Amino acid sequence: MLKVYIVDDEPLARDELRYLLNQSKQVTVLGESDCIEDAVKEITEFQPDLVFLDIELEEGTGIELAGQLKDLEHPPAIVFATAYDEYALQAFEADAVDYILKPFEEERILHTLEKIDKLGKIGKEDVLVVPPLRNDHNGKMAFSVEEKIVLIPYTDILFVESSEGKCIIHTLKQEYKVSEPLVEVEKRMNFRPFLRVHRSYVVNLEHIDEIEPWFNSTYNLMMNDGSKVPVSRTYIKDLKKVIGF
């Protein structure tokens, strides 16, 4: 039996989630709270296997609470259940096993429970053991795409383009629109073969086929998929230093 605890400062949201969870015969809802202080106290006492956390709470955030729960002797698995899709990457980095959006749908809740059942197992002491998802740069990079976390091999990334305060990740197979600004993505790409070449572009040097001189002492990078990426004068020196031309 999966022991669950709910943290949400909206009574109607708690009621709805509890009702949907109770549709599964494999779930027991041990309790619920609307604030961090009560949640930490009861989760420590009840030792649930799984905690559903809202992001925006009156006294803080679910991200902060997740950090506190990781330090418990018996830390629960975490699922963020929220109306805010822009926190998906932070949830991933907090070792959440899933991220679901309000309004809740029964099919989505059941999918989460099935996912957790596949990831973890109930041991002899009835403790859920779930391997958390981690953004550990093991050859892939994590990006929040809609309400999912997509893992993209960094070798597949051609370039990243800034668009209206967000980003488009151009890969060998497709494009991904993510909610992060380019400056935040660049921080996570601070290793070769990635290089900032324009205020709106970060490129993967491994996918450059040609460097084409352009007007006003600038350049265009011809990527191996046929795309063109501009190089602004501000970043030409860095590009020449790295490539050596």
Q: pTM value?
A: 0.55
Flag residues of the chain having pLDDT under 70.
118-138, 192
- What residues make up the domain containing 185? 140-243
Q: What CATH number is associated with residue 32?
A: 3.40.50.2300
- State the SS3 of the chain: CEEEEEECCCHHHHHHHHHHHCCCCCEEEEEEECCHHHHHHHHHHHCCCEEEECCEECCEEHHHHHHHHCCCCCCCEEEEEECCHHHHHHHHHCCCCEEEECCCCHHHHHHHHHHHHHHCEECCCCCEECCCCCCCCCCEEEEEECCEEEEEEHHHEEEEEEECCEEEEEECCCEEEECCCHHHHHHHCCCCCEEEEECCEEEEHHHEEEEEECHHHCEEEEECCCCEEEECHHHHHHHHHHHCC
Residues 144 and 125 reside in one and the same domain:
no
Does residue 41 share a domain with residue 98?
yes
Of 100, 129, 158, the last residue of a domain is 129
User: Is there a single domain that holds both residue 147 and residue 232?
Assistant: yes
Q: Is residue 134 part of a domain?
A: no
185 and 236 both lie in a single domain = yes
Domain count, the chain: 2
Clarify whether residues 41 and 113 are in a common domain: yes
Residue 55 and residue 99 in one domain: yes
Q: Looking at the DSSP assignment, which residues form a beta bridge with residue 178?
A: 167
Q: Please check whether residues 56 and 147 belong to one and the same domain.
A: no
How many angstroms separate the Cα of 40 from the Cα of each of 44, 74, 82, 99? 6, 12, 19, 20
Residues 8 and 123 in one domain: yes
Residues 78 and 169 in one domain: no
145 and 101 within one domain? no
Q: Across the strands, what pairs with 2?
A: 27
* Structural domain includes residue 135: no
Q: What is the pLDDT of residue 120?
A: 59
Same domain, 125 and 147: no
Which of 61-74 are b and which e, b meaning 16 or more Cβ less than 10 Å from the residue's Cβ?
Answer: bbbebbeebeeeee
Question: pLDDT tens digits, residue range 91-121?
Answer: 777 778 888 888 898 888 988 888 777 665 4
Q: Are residues 123 and 146 in the same domain?
A: no
Is residue 153 assigned to a domain? yes
**How high is the pLDDT of residue 242?**
80
